[in-house]
Amino acid sequence: MELLARKGPLGVRPVAQQLGLPLGSVHRLLLDLEAEGVAERTPQGEWVLSFKLLEITGAQLERLELPQLARPFADRIAEETRETVNINALHNMMGVTVDKVRGNEGMQLDMRIGSRGPLHCGGAGKAMLAFLSRSEQETVYAQPLHPLTPHTIVDPRQLEDEIGRIRQRGYSLDYDEVVVGVRCIAMPILDRGGRVVGAISISGTSPKTPGPDLDRMVGLLTEACGHVSRRLGFSGIFPPPVGVPAVAAAI
């Protein structure tokens, strides 16, 4: 695959020569890769990497880039708010904590790096859910919504209403949904296709009710998530306007 990535498209014979393997063995290998959707033949009979592999590779690279791109903003936000900033990636319809900067407050949502969480609760989870496609959202609504605290939304209709409010304002709020006593605000990160790939959240004990403090956090997240999204290729309005899917806003 590395050979095709560097030099493709190539015929079977050049691949065999480069690898030093028998022609028949290389041909069978390429057929196996084709069956897996990893390689494909051009109309001229040469072999190239498939778009499927390129899409998978691109998604992986974006997840690897998230901590690097978001960390400077997370450092600044944690310093200014004194609360914990979590950088999250979307993977297999779950939120994964890929980096964090701990604030100076005592009680905070201090997620372990690599920990996974559902999309139906918490600031980051709901921020990502709100910018998924309608069919993906429906998949989440149809699953059992397990409570983490008495404040977790477990009714699909209530969750759908909450997701609508998040899309309208561009950010999510979490009041005691994951840990009692911890409140959270989060905003999504979008890629070049307008698809949600992650989120940045600020969590701590501050009330996060309408007012100057909340407005300041919204501004910090808008700058951070907008910058990271643009570095990942997003070129639309951030966050996308109400009623306009993120993918459409990126066109």
Instruction: Give the separation between CA 180 and CA 165, rounded to whole angstroms.
Output: 22
**Domain assignments of the chain as residue spans, ordered by start:** 2-49, 59-250
Say what the pLDDT of residue 191 is: 92
Assess if CATH 3.20.20.70 describes domain 2-49. no
Where would I find the H helices in the chain?
2-7, 12-19, 23-35, 51-81, 123-130, 134-142, 156-169, 212-231, 246-250
Decide: 74 and 200 in contact? Cβ < 8 Å. yes
76: Cβ contacts below 8 Å, ≥ 6 apart: 220
Instruction: Give the separation between CA 230 and CA 194, rounded to whole angstroms.
Output: 10
Say what the pLDDT of residue 108 is: 59
DSSP code of 188?
A: E
| Residue-level pLDDT, tens digit, the chain, 251 residues | 445 544 456 777 877 777 777 888 878 877 877 777 767 777 677 777 664 554 454 444 455 578 888 999 999 999 999 999 999 999 889 998 989 998 876 655 667 788 889 999 999 999 999 999 999 999 999 999 999 999 999 999 999 999 999 999 999 999 999 999 999 999 999 998 899 999 999 999 999 999 999 999 999 999 999 999 999 899 988 988 876 666 656 65
Say what the pLDDT of residue 179 is: 92
Instruction: Give the separation between CA 4 and CA 244, rounded to whole angstroms.
Output: 39
pTM assigned to the model: 0.73
Instruction: Give the separation between CA 75 and CA 64, rounded to whole angstroms.
Output: 18
Say what the pLDDT of residue 65 is: 75
33: Cβ contacts below 8 Å, ≥ 6 apart: 1, 39
Say what the pLDDT of residue 244 is: 61
CATH topology of domain 59-250: Beta-Lactamase (3.30.450)
Say what the pLDDT of residue 58 is: 47
Q: Which two tokens stand for residue 172?
A: 């999510």
Q: Which of 115, 137, 116 is nearest to 126 (CA)?
A: 137
Model confidence over 180-198: pLDDT tens digits?
Answer: 999 999 999 999 889 999 9
Say what the pLDDT of residue 106 is: 62
Task: Examine domains 2-49 and 59-250 and report if their fold is the same.
Answer: no
